[in-house]
Chains A and B, each alone.
Chain A
């Protein structure tokens, strides 16, 4: 009897129901989408181009676009061409110059996407090491400590990639790590990351990318967009909308980055 009363009470109070919603959606026409970056080291520069879809998604995946014209022009008018390879990724053989302003132009059919970005200054890695700490369980942890000359005039944003060399070559440990210089130690010219590594001794490569704040904001907003869902609820805590971008006539972001790398053997 108690169980029945409980169930009845729950049913009485649980009166929410669900069904298809009758709402009007404004379908958008497909536009070019660009992702990738142009850096001071040509092999690291790449762009992937796809087309957006309307609300009705009738096929799997987003097929890469390989018939678009993609150029990047510097402030002097020098044109750098990007061409698609066998992997459908657009690449170039030209290095970017830190501090230079570049304009990207993508033409696909009668659609044109443009964007402009100034490559950040090059921040060189002077050294890196792994600092040991002991956790609450008595295990030894290794955290990366990076030595570099952070420009002090403003807040700077970075991304770091850490690679470990095994018999296959260098492979990336962990995902890309984004940070700013809030905890930069001016006396030691260093910054410690909180990520933990346990690969042991060997050859490590660290790549430090200097990024524009607007690019970091774009990535952060994208990250939130990906987690927040896209309906409507009285409890939504993120503001829905598109990330702020430097692209016009399309979607995505034209990122220019300057990076430096250092390879070192760690005992």
Chain B
């Protein structure tokens, strides 16, 4: 840590110059909606190397010597804006950028600086997803799904057919920090993983960090998926929505006070159950409820030029219930998040954001008897976070942008709560004490432009995790035997972990068209999802590091070559990475992971390694746009108690992964979409033989994950018909076909005797879930 500060001070002090400098600062917004724009390039026209990028809230600050300058503001999808300033003191300039109309025929003018940003920035292993680009892509059942789209990026692999869960660079599903307006979302799936909880109508920015992870992020080993909701149109009323086969969604945004304040509200609900009820009089169906809903709310208020507050929330739930004459059964699960943020500009160089964040995920199973016994039972679990964080951006000068901050999170983990009208000794053991913890961090980083060609990002995150008491805690040995049980009071530390997580990224640009980059990151993870399945089981629980579960750590080194072609219209990148993971969690054979009050006895700790090559070729503009990605990778694990301690394939060890995504504007009102994916099948455990004990036959497995599922591939097609342009009410019909050539990809594999040939020999059978799934969606905007 001492070395970091020495280096930091050396770089900072060596760049303090005697020439007087001033700062031009301000906020960049969308001229039509008033939304702040993140990631806008602001640079001096005569010297494009001198520039900055606007932050999450559209704020920028550029430090220059006194003089007259032409400044350019450039952002993809918007017309470049140029202003002239006479910089003799610190000045403020708020800029509004005009979006490029969506109709074909107008030239899309995007500044070169924006086009070459992938070459010039220090980041690698990072993807910015533009919501507009995904609107016409074919997706399962017509549901625009951000998580499904990021699975098409290199290094990101879907957990399975139709699943929202994903693996990033060989990591597990729980190693991805998913944030919505800075609030963590612990279970981002509806309907057992088939749909994500994120309504694309309200999402403005999506950013995935998988290689270079800035120091302001922690808590997960493999990636950070940051999503920001729109702020709400503060110029005029705007609405959009869609009606699909299984769900509908609607969003409305409008100013409360023009230019000052706005709100956004959106909702989504499935209605398969309502549809069935409308069609049939069957009593069983009428007594059943099966649906999910999402509700997003946001409002903001700009008090003055230097102060602004935002309040946003997300509430979503899956509900399954059956109501009969004498009993009622319900199973529901869902997330709720709330973020209160306060932006304050201290001066032209110092911007801060303070956030108070609440996040909750829980599930509940209830059974009530309505007869004379009045029996009931309920079983639930969940996790709840309360976070206070403060982030500062300090624009020291044109070479250094310093970020620093802290966050303090209190976790409440409810592994299992059981209630019943009748005492049951066995089930009562499912009542587990709540677990509490503090997870805190301080960070400091600097984005340093050493020269026009060489840029460095270096940062340090100090992280601290305190598992708090509030009951009896048992320590187990490696064999699962109890070593001791001890009582800890509520606020007493049971176990503390802490460590330093350095982050560094270096970029060297040969010229405006090509660069090489390298990065290194160390990450920690103190919360672990107890799950063996690749789907998002609602009953999966999170467990904290403590007496039994150590903290996980990861080290990742990556490097890449970036090349732009045809004046920035085409991008090519090749990245390699090598990642090691320590104290990775796995389970002893036969472990029951869910509803197991002593699951910590059955855990194994080992190591993992993942390495790979990611190639991406992308065309961002023009009638035909999209990308082609190929990932060649391995993901391996080693545990002393598995496979005799030998390295073996992780479930997500898919060696080849290809995604082809294409949008084509056939006519001004007709868009075609195509997605083709291919990946090596999961590594799975199949039996190699059988044996008999006590008259029962059991399978024998020679190796964990020694088998392979068949390779997966699928083609999706879509056609989108837009109404005539120029109208205030815009609408479109999207017709899509998921799995257009009907590939029978296995979703489940099971074994049964070969009845057809009257043989006891076992046959492997597969169930395919989705084959030729059409969808029709009507979308509208006004």
Contacts and interface: CB of A to CB of B under 8 A. Distances in A.
B383 to A, nearest CB: 19
Contacts of A19: 744, 765-766, 768
| Size bin of chain B's contact surface | 35 or more
Given A19-B765, A60-B760, A230 B686 contact: yes
Q: Is the interface of B mostly helix, strand, loop or mixed?
A: loop
Contacts of B532: 236-239
Contact of A242 (B280, B425, B700, B765): B700
B540 to A, nearest CB: 9
| Size bin of chain A's contact surface | 35 or more
Name the residue in A54, A224, A237 with the highest tally of chain B Cβ atoms < 10 Å from its Cβ: A237
Contacts of A55: 687-690, 762
Contacts of A89: none
A20 B754 CA distance: 10
Contacts of A214: 479
Interface in A1-40: 2-3, 5-6, 9, 12-13, 15-28, 30, 33, 35
Nearest to B601: A217
B476 to A, nearest CB: 11
A222 B698 CA distance: 8
B221 interface: no
Given A154-B481, A231-B749, A239-B591, A54 B764 contact: no
B139 to A, nearest CB: 16
A251 B691 contact: yes
Contacts, number: 217
A213 B589 CA distance: 16
A231 B751 contact: yes
Contact of A232 (B373, B685, B770): B685
Contacts of B766: 18-21
B761 A56 contact: yes
Contacts of B749: 21, 23, 231-233
Contacts of B134: none
A200 interface: no
A232 B686 contact: yes
Contacts of B481: 154-155, 213
B280 A6 contact: yes
B689 A52 contact: yes
A199 interface: no
B760 A58 contact: yes
A86 interface: no
Nearest to A3: B280
Interface in B61-88: none
Interface string A226-267: 100111111111111111100000011000000000000000
11 contacts: A5-B279, A17-B744, A18-B768, A19-B744, A23-B749, A62-B691, A230-B751, A234-B160, A237-B593, A239-B586, A252-B693
Interface of A: 2-3, 5-6, 9, 12-13, 15-28, 30, 33, 35, 50, 52-60, 62, 136, 154-155, 183, 194, 213-214, 217, 220-222, 224-226, 229-244, 251-252
Interface of B: 159-161, 163, 192-193, 272, 275-276, 279-280, 373, 425, 479-482, 532-535, 537, 586-594, 641-642, 682, 684-694, 696-704, 706-710, 744, 746-751, 759-774
Given A21-B764, A26-B702, A234-B159, 20 more contacts: A6-B279, A15-B769, A16-B771, A19-B765, A22-B710, A25-B688, A52-B691, A62-B692, A62-B697, A154-B482, A221-B589, A231-B686, A231-B748, A232-B709, A233-B749, A234-B747, A237-B537, A238-B532, A243-B589, A251-B700
* Minimum-distance CB pairs A-B, first 6: A241-B589, A221-B590, A231-B750, A21-B766, A234-B535, A28-B689
